[in-house]
Amino acid sequence: MRAALSFGLAVAAFAAALPAHGEGIDVARQSYLANLLTQDCGSCHGLTMKGGLGPALLPAALAERDDAVLVETILDGRPGTPMPPWRFELSQQEAAWLVARLREGVR
């Protein structure tokens, strides 16, 4: 129980430290990220994000997922699966921006 509480507090602190949606990401970079979401993420998760090689990334499919976990999944990938790490290309702020876009159902 303590471990779960500690993890929950850590996740909450992480989420609170994330910048507001799009804050500090210039328009050109946002355009690049939107294209990355459609093309690169879409190549595995489906161009409509309904799933494919990877799971669906529609708002309903993400509803029970924590933002901090999704950001870490984007940055570090999922070992043992085809999900690659994107930390070499994306900042934590940019990964959070992608999660926000997915939650809004925007590609």
Contact 49, 57 (CB under 8 A): yes
Please tell me the distance from the alpha carbon of residue 66 to that of residue 75, in angstroms, as a whole number: 14
User: What CATH number is given to the structural domain containing 69?
Assistant: 1.10.760.10
What range defines the domain where residue 7 resides?
2-104
Domain count, the chain: 1
Q: What is the pLDDT along the chain (107 residues), one digit of tens a residue?
A: 554 444 444 433 444 344 445 568 999 999 999 999 999 999 999 999 999 999 999 999 999 999 999 999 999 999 999 999 999 999 999 999 999 999 999 86
Please tell me the distance from the alpha carbon of residue 79 to that of residue 93, in angstroms, as a whole number: 22
What lies within 8 Å, CB to CB, of 52 at 6+ separation is 44, 45, 46
| HSE value, Cβ hemisphere, 13 Å, CA-based, for 73 | 18
